[in-house]
Structure 1
Amino acid sequence: MSDDGNFTDEVTSSQGPSELSKFSPGLLTFAAVVTGIIMLVGLFGNLLTVVALLKCPKVRNVAAAFIISLCIADFLFCAIVLPFAISGFWTRTWSHGGALCKLVPFLRYGNVGVSLLSIALITLNRYIMIAHHSWYGRVYRKHNIALMIVFSWMFSYGMQIPTLVEVWGKFDYDPELGTCSIVPDEFGHSAKTALFVIAFIVPALLIFICYARIFWVVHRSEQRMREHQRSQHNNPRTLNNSTADKRSTIKDNRETKARRNEWRITKMVLAIFLSFLVCYLPITIAKVADNHVHYPVFHVTGYLLLYASACVNPIIYVIMNAQYRAAYAAALCCPLARLSGLTSGAYPSSPIACQQAVRKSERTSAFASYIKP
């Protein structure tokens, strides 16, 4: 390999046409345009989410720390990986040299690992909050949170170092994919299967187990709540207006509101995980069930869904959480906030007035969500 250009020419000419050469030019042009749109939306949405979470104390909690880590990983995916994906769709080959052929897949797999581990950490946080609330203060101290986030990044990239140094597979041009990926080394070894099991199957199983337990705990809690309310209604002694009864009712209402808020966040995290599965499973199924590319549209759709995973999370935050919408409004501090129904009338231009309007909209949204049946 004398230089980067010779490396690309030698690889593409010796291995024959890539998988992308089997697709129609119009389909690949469409995929390149859509990938460009996904990249722009992902860059803006994830950057805005990070700024909003850092700027708005209302949503700056433990889960927000892991969401910021997730957004940074998705932002890097959009900024570093997707431009090369657009180039691959457009040119139907790899034309960026040997060094980037190693670096880009290293970053791609690393960011995917960080994303899934961040979702797993958020789910674990929701599980401990709901099912083992007494542990929460001991587990989620500042240094523990920092260690969890650092671990997710170091583990995701660290487990690829053997492949990077070509001890267990290697990062190289894959002629079947038409891009750079993990390929077998000179001994025929590849880390793809192990990485899939360790970085995808294990976190996915952890998330599934946590949500199974969360649903069970919430179901049992709702049952006990209904039984308690039924017993109070049927027992004549509980119909008086004593101070103890009022305090008990106020406490029950507060616990119900707090549990509803935690459950609302938990459902949002579940939506994030399900969107991750929807985005990653199609391309996996396509590679296994149609490895000879008889259905090109299926493969291109799988690629686009894979790339869309980097921009879909901010959309979920906006749709499912009024506090996040208010945080976005505080970050933007512009009339766009009116589009989400957070305020009415002219939106204030000064930062202080903007923050006051956002806090007012938060209270209004929270009250409206609590009085829903």
Structure 2
Amino acid sequence: MEQLANFTDDISSSVQPSEFSKFSPALLTFAAVVTGLIMLVGLSGNLLTVVALLKCPKVRNVAAAFIISLCIADFLFCAMVLPFAISGFWTQTWSHGGVLCRLVPFLRYGNVGVSLLSIALITLNRYIMIAHHSWYGRVYRKHNIALMIVFSWMFSYGMQVPTLIGVWGKFDYDPELGTCSILPDENGRSSKTAMFIIAFIVPALLILICYARIFWVVHSSEQRMREHQRTQHSGAGALNNSTDKRSTIKDNRDTKARRNEWRITKMVLAIFLSFLVCYLPITMAKVADSHVHYPVFHIAGYLLLYASACVNPIIYVIMNAQYRAAYAAALCCPLSRLTGLTSEKWNERHGYSYSNTRTALSQVSLGESRADPRASMAPAGPAR
């Protein structure tokens, strides 16, 4: 830490022409304006998502706990990283001193790690919910959820501490990029490759494996259900009307619960794919066009990278009616109407029902015992 304290603030006096010098002023101005818009959308969208999930009990399930962590990481990215990106586009260099030159990339890489690990934890939650439902109540207890979230933050930032103190690479001004990034230390070591493998490749592979398994389980389940329905129809003459009606109602409830879980799973997949779409272009640009022959390609990559911090709330609105209702309630409804979101009528309208999820894919809620007084009269199940 002594190196950090002694790090001087005279970077701007020794800067060299950066890759930004190869871009036209109009292109850089456009990039600065778009980054500013992304920052505003990201700040408001992520903050609104956190407020909506905290205020509306029926969307405060296990996945929502990880989504709140993801939103906080994206909010911090917009608040603490994007202003310096706008400044970089505008001034074409770094002019904020040496201490910030270390802290800003530390925050940038840390928030990216938290975002991807949060997506991985949400995907793992979906996988256990669908493929190993009997484990769900044991795995997703409150203290386990808290430990998972704390781990994602401590791991993402903790693995960068050696770089921050200069013993495994260092955060410093990169004259070629015109900004602060990870550079080799005095011994020529850098944490970039290891960080890319541990914090990006491994979680991405985990996510892909989980989704492959999820799709297989869902496909097999649908085949079994179709076979079960055909068997029921073929033997319908042997059943009395009341038994047939009860069976039909149960099948409809199970189908509704499975459909709701599948919608959430598809939303998480969209979040992961958007993460890849936002991060791959700038990675490809740095590798395929290291000498910046195509400036537009690089600017587009930067803007997509920054857009990753604001795109998730848009996905929630487009793909999930429950989140749309929660947003509307957080924006427009007084507290008395927000409590109305705990009613069963609202649940059924948007696909939630405790009876449904107990008979199929249980929707474990962080506040279930408080939100639904009938829970104490329900048959005993796994502890939550």
TM-score relative to the length of structure 2: 0.87
Distance in 2 between residues matched to 1:24 and 1:328, nearest whole Å: 40
Aligned to 1:351: 335
Distance in 1 between residues matched to 2:155 and 2:187, nearest whole Å: 25
The residue type paired with residue 321 of structure 1 is N
Aligned to 1:44: 44
Q: Percent identity?
A: 82
Q: How does 1:240-319 map to 2 (within 5 A)?
A: 240-319=239-318
| SS in structure 1 of the partner of residue 283 of structure 2 | helix
CA contact 1:326–1:358 (8 Å) conserved in 2: no
**Deviation of the 1:256 alpha carbon:** 1.1
Distance in 2 between residues matched to 1:267 and 1:50, nearest whole Å: 21
Distance in 1 between residues matched to 2:157 and 2:151, nearest whole Å: 10
Distance in 2 between residues matched to 1:114 and 1:236, nearest whole Å: 53
**Deviation of the 1:249 alpha carbon:** 2.4
Distance 1:228 1:192, change over 3 A: same
**Deviation of the 1:257 alpha carbon:** 1.0
**Deviation of the 1:284 alpha carbon:** 0.4
**Deviation of the 1:244 alpha carbon:** 3.3
Distance in 2 between residues matched to 1:66 and 1:361, nearest whole Å: 23
Contiguous gaps of at least 5 residues in structure 1? 335-349
**Deviation of the 1:253 alpha carbon:** 1.8
The residue type paired with residue 203 of structure 2 is P
Distance in 2 between residues matched to 1:226 and 1:96, nearest whole Å: 63
Aligned to 2:378: none
The residue type paired with residue 161 of structure 2 is I
**Deviation of the 1:356 alpha carbon:** 3.7
Distance 1:2 1:234, change over 3 A: closer
Q: Deviations over 1:333-364 (max 9, x none)?
A: 16xxxxxxxxxxxxxxx432465489666644
Q: How does 1:325-344 map to 2 (within 5 A)?
A: 325-333=324-332
CA contact 1:333–1:354 (8 Å) conserved in 2: no
Distance in 2 between residues matched to 1:3 and 1:123, nearest whole Å: 41
**Deviation of the 1:236 alpha carbon:** 4.6
Distance in 2 between residues matched to 1:286 and 1:115, nearest whole Å: 22
Aligned to 1:343: none
| SS in structure 2 of the partner of residue 53 of structure 1 | helix
Q: Deviations over 1:308-334 (max 9, x none)?
A: 000000000000111101111111116
| SS in structure 1 of the partner of residue 81 of structure 2 | helix
CA contact 1:330–1:358 (8 Å) conserved in 2: no
Q: Deviations over 1:233-285 (max 9, x none)?
A: 223545x4344333332222221111111001000000000000000000000
TM-score relative to the length of structure 1: 0.89
| SS in structure 1 of the partner of residue 10 of structure 2 | helix
Aligned to 2:13: 9
Contiguous gaps of at least 5 residues in structure 2? 357-384
Higher relative contact order (CA 8 A, sep 6+): 2
| SS in structure 1 of the partner of residue 166 of structure 2 | coil
CA contact 2:73–2:114 (8 Å) conserved in 1: yes
The residue type paired with residue 11 of structure 2 is F
Aligned to 1:73: 73
CA contact 2:57–2:341 (8 Å) conserved in 1: no
| SS in structure 1 of the partner of residue 105 of structure 2 | helix
| SS in structure 2 of the partner of residue 292 of structure 1 | coil
Q: Deviations over 1:194-222 (max 9, x none)?
A: 00000000000000000000000000000
The residue type paired with residue 115 of structure 1 is S
**Deviation of the 1:176 alpha carbon:** 1.3
Distance 1:249 1:292, change over 3 A: same
The residue type paired with residue 224 of structure 1 is R
| SS in structure 2 of the partner of residue 171 of structure 1 | strand
**Deviation of the 1:231 alpha carbon:** 1.6
Distance 1:354 1:132, change over 3 A: closer
